Amino acid sequence: MASASAASTAAVAAEEAATAALVAQEAVTPTAPEGDMRTHDIASAASEMAGSVMRLIRRTAAAAGEAVASADGTLAEMAAAQAAVAAAAADAAADSAASAAADAVAADSREAAAPAAARATAAANVADASALEAAAAAEAANEAAGVAT
């Protein structure tokens, strides 16, 4: 039963992280064809959002790890382990997005900010995809744990 609870927590956290990663991605996505950032404030907000994503993803990873430790069934263990791996990948990507967004904030011109914004967008895309994968795996662990208990 603890496995189901932990996997459920992981699923909720991963879904929140995926949503936050998507917001961060949209915040750093340039609107001009030449790749200019919208504003310094948008880049700064994206950097803060990436930090929020990382915290949510770490919560997902912790809950998935707890699910692995308490899983009764093999399927639940495998799915929870997959969720933990995906959460770790999302964490690394969110860290990269935060770093790139910080570079965009620090840039002294829009031209200099554009490559960093592109890196932040790419990393946010990876974080979003990985967080969605973690959510799906955590949900699978939750279902498997429910069957196993």
Per-residue pLDDT, 80: 75
Condensed to tens digits (0 to 9), the pLDDT of residues 94-143 reads: 778 777 777 777 777 777 777 877 787 777 778 777 777 877 877 777 77
Distance between CA atoms of residues 54 and 17, nearest Å: 8
| Domain residue limits at 101 | 2-148
Q: How many domains does the chain have?
A: 1
Other beta carbons less than 10 A from residue 133's beta carbon: 19
Confidence check: pLDDT of 19 > 60: yes
Condensed to tens digits (0 to 9), the pLDDT of residues 59-99 reads: 766 776 676 666 566 777 777 778 778 777 877 877 787 77
pTM beyond 0.85, yes or no:
no
